[in-house]
Amino acid sequence: MTTAVPPASALLDKLRGPGPLILPSMLLCDFANLQREAERLSEAGFQALHLDVMDGVFVPNLSYGLSVVKSLRRVTPLPLDVHLMIANPAQYIEAFRDAGADVITFHAEATSDHAAVLEQIRRTGAAAGIVLNPDTPVSDIAAVVELCDLALVMSVQAGFGGQAFRPEALEKFQHFRQLAQARPDLILEIDGGINRETAAQAWRAGAQWLVVGSGIFAHDDYAAAHQALLAACST
């Protein structure tokens, strides 16, 4: 396996910092005003956006696809972190990169050839990541951690709304650190049920990127919501 650093390394270095990176989950944004939403989030200090792509096959729900990624790419310079909750992710990697994805993650449960998909993403120049549902052990992808720029841990089952945060998912971060000798710069991300309380738990457990939905979009003041999440992680 190659462990060459992909061109995306410069972007990832820019997004690293001493504190957590909060990524708004665009599933809950106002799609009738997509450009304005992206502008408001940028003005509020967010440095990247998270897009959940659901196909109704790998997960039972549908969300959005290439057209929304393309639309956002036209109206914002913010990096786009695209989370593919889809079957057969290899078929769509180049299309999502061409649409404007800067980071592409796919589910370990969606394919048996993790290395091939990670290599495929890296060849496009995007940052490559793998996602684990709560019941999937880190050992399932131990052999390919060296190919990952980031690892996304789901703290709810992907594709289902209204679920309670599963704190046992936090144990995965320690497992990743133990495996990441070949990628000491591995970024750890969490998605699912993240609010002020759970954001603090996730940050203390080792998560660096925190995907937040209603904890941002349920508030009129996005900047205040952002600051409240950051403050929760600092206590």
Catalytic center residues: 52, 191
Q: Give whole-number Cα distances, 37 to 31, 180, 197, in Å.
A: 8, 36, 25
Reference 137, options 92, 102, 179; nearest CA is 179
- β partners of residue 154: 191
**4 phi and psi angles, rounded to 5 deg:** -60, 140
Residue pointed to by tokens 């096959």 = 57
End-to-end CA distance of the chain: 41
**214 phi and psi angles, rounded to 5 deg:** -65, -25
Within 10 angstroms of residue 90's Cβ, the number of other Cβ atoms is: 14
- 107 close to 85: Cβ distance less than 8 angstroms: yes
Which distant-in-sequence residues (6+ apart) come within 8 Å of 137 by Cβ? Answer: 175
